[in-house]
């Protein structure tokens, strides 16, 4: 008996296109103290993070803020930066209060020592220099501290500089009364763009960046890098200038959040919180990234473990002028606002457009790869157009785009395409228009009540 294979030759192959999608739900904490060789590690829970990091390290605390949220990310990343900053804070006396009951207080926390409050109580003859000197003494008296405080400047207008004892050491300083003192982180950028380039070269499957040493120089460098790399960046600063100082047009670079706004950055969402150790931005990212693009609105969210900020009306005006974000008590509940990036647009819009870009480009690539050939014919053009339409339909279903008005797609006919483009096998001029769905943030109601 002859074999069937003599007459029928059958070969079955499996070719799953399987184009990798961007990790829109994965945040990355940038560490300057990772001791492992690889540039990035991924963690599925806080217990996994504890295997690598001390529980009082900023990496652990930021990860804890992410995993404490409901919902929270299924996975987070910690990237290794080789270039270490030497953390530094600059503090000045904002108001000399000649009163026996006036206390200047700074909450201190950091890796390797017990949290404490450094305070100086003024008397009826207190001067700027006495207050500054008294606070330096109190800061240096904190047991086990990893920094050194010193007065700087000229007699009569002394300020305070608090500098880490070693590069990479981390500590948090929080003003108890933001009207009494001013504060900012003032260290230089150690070369953060170089480290981010190195991490991205190894792994791109993360989306939101969190940094831990947020001086103006470091944040500016990280924000500039982010604008060119299809990520989102969430720096959180405790600079009193951001809430105390009005913004004059045009925006300048007097403080970090004002500088970000002046540069009209579309991928950096600056945040204000007086306590660096609260890791407000990390908590916010942890709360929001698990929500699919199109279903997310970054305003009106409560953050587990993050204290709300006590703001005056002036503070709110100044933060909003900088397109900045914070968390505040509204109607008795803690909530985030405004959900904006530095140019004033909304985070969910940026994230939604990123999702559409990723989905459409990979959908079209998948169509090109899935067949032996996409012919340069009207039928071949229609195949590509169908992928564009399918991606727009998915974005509409997810809530990124509105279905009223519905998206429109136009493609050229083969007869209208130049011979030079055909020779290059380039298909030009597939165009679409669509409308972002957005979200409702403010409601105006009018009514009449009659008796």
Q: Could you tell me the residue ranges of all domains in the chain?
A: 27-84+191-345, 88-185, 374-433
C-alpha 336/C-alpha 299 separation (Å) is 5
Task: Please list, in sequence order, all residues whose beta carbon lies within 8 angstroms of the beta carbon of residue 66, skipping any fewer than 6 positions away.
Answer: 27, 72, 73, 76, 282, 283, 285, 286
pLDDT for 99 equals: 72
pLDDT for 9 equals: 41
- Tens of pLDDT, residue by residue over 61-70, are 999 999 999 9
Please report the DSSP string for 276-340 in residue order.
GGG-HHHHHHHHHTTSPTTS---SS---TT-PPP---HHHHHHHHHTT-BEEEEETTEEEEE--B
Which of 336, 309, 305 lies closest to 67, judged by CA? 305
pLDDT for 122 equals: 87
Quick one: the chain helix, strand, coil %, rounded to 5? 30, 20, 50
Bond into 42 cis (ω within 30) = no
Average predicted confidence (pLDDT) for the chain: 93
Joined together, the tokens standing for residue 191 give 């070369």
Least confident of 174-183, 248-257, 287-296, 324-333: 248-257
pLDDT for 1 equals: 53
pLDDT for 5 equals: 46
- Tens of pLDDT, residue by residue over 163-192, are 999 999 999 999 999 999 999 999 999 999
Please report the DSSP string for 330-389 in residue order.
ETTEEEEE--B-TTS-BHHHHHHHHHHHHHHHHHHHHHHHHSS---SSHHHHHHHHHHHH
> Residue 47: helix, strand or coil by DSSP?
helix
- Tens of pLDDT, residue by residue over 412-432, are 999 999 999 999 999 999 999
pLDDT band of residue 24 (cuts 50, 70, 90) is confident
pLDDT over threshold 60, residue 10? no
pLDDT over threshold 90, residue 86? yes
pLDDT over threshold 60, residue 4? no
pLDDT for 6 equals: 54
pLDDT for 11 equals: 43
- Tens of pLDDT, residue by residue over 204-256, are 999 999 999 999 999 999 999 999 999 999 999 999 999 999 998 778 889 99
CATH code for the part of the protein at 88-185: 2.60.40
pTM of the prediction?
A: 0.92
């Amino acid at each position: 008996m002859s074999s069937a294979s003599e007459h029928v030759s059958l070969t079955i192959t499996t070719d799953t296109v399987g184009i990798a999608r961007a990790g829109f739900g994965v945040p990355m904490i940038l560490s300057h103290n990772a001791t492992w060789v690889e540039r990035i590690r991924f963690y599925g829970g806080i217990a996994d993070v504890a295997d690598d990091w001390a529980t009082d390290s900023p990496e652990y605390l930021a990860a804890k803020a992410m995993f404490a949220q409901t919902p929270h990310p299924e996975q987070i990343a910690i990237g290794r930066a080789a270039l270490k900053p030497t953390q530094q804070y600059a503090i000045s006396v904002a108001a000399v209060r000649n009163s026996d009951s006036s206390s200047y207080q700074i909450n201190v926390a950091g890796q390797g020592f017990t949290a404490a409050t450094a305070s100086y109580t003024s008397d009826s003859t207190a001067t700027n220099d006495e207050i500054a000197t008294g606070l330096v003494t109190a800061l240096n008296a904190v047991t086990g501290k990893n920094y050194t405080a010193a007065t700087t400047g000229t007699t009569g207008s002394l300020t305070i500089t608090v500098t880490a004892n070693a590069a990479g050491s981390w500590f948090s300083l929080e003003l108890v009364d933001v009207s009494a003192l001013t504060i900012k982180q003032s260290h230089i950028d150690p070369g953060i763009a170089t480290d981010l380039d190195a991490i991205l070269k190894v792994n791109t499957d993360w989306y939101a960046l969190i940094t831990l040493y947020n001086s103006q120089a470091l944040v500016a460098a990280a924000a500039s890098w982010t604008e060119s790399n299809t990520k989102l960046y969430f720096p959180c600063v405790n600079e009193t200038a951001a809430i105390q100082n009005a913004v004059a047009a045009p925006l300048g670079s007097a403080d970090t959040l004002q500088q970000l706004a002046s540069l009209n950055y579309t991928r950096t969402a600056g945040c204000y919180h007086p306590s660096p150790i609260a890791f407000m931005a990390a908590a916010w990212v942890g709360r929001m990234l698990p929500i699919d693009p199109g279903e997310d609105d970054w305003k009106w969210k409560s953050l587990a473990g993050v204290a709300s900020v006590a703001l005056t009306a002036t503070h709110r005006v100044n933060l909003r002028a900088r397109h900045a974000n914070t968390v505040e008590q509204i109607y008795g509940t803690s909530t985030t606002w405004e959900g904006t990036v530095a140019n004033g647009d909304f985070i969910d819009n940026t994230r939604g457009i990123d999702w559409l870009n990723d989905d459409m480009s990979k959908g079209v690539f998948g169509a090109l790869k899935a067949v032996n050939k996409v012919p340069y014919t009207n039928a071949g053009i229609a195949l590509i157009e169908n992928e564009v339409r399918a991606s727009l339909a998915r974005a509409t279903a997810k809530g990124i785009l509105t279905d009223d008005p519905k998206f429109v797609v136009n493609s050229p006919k083969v007869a209208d395409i130049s011979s030079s483009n055909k020779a290059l096998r380039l298909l030009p001029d597939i165009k679409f228009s669509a409308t972002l769905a957005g979200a409702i943030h403010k409601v105006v109601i009018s009514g009449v009540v009659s008796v």
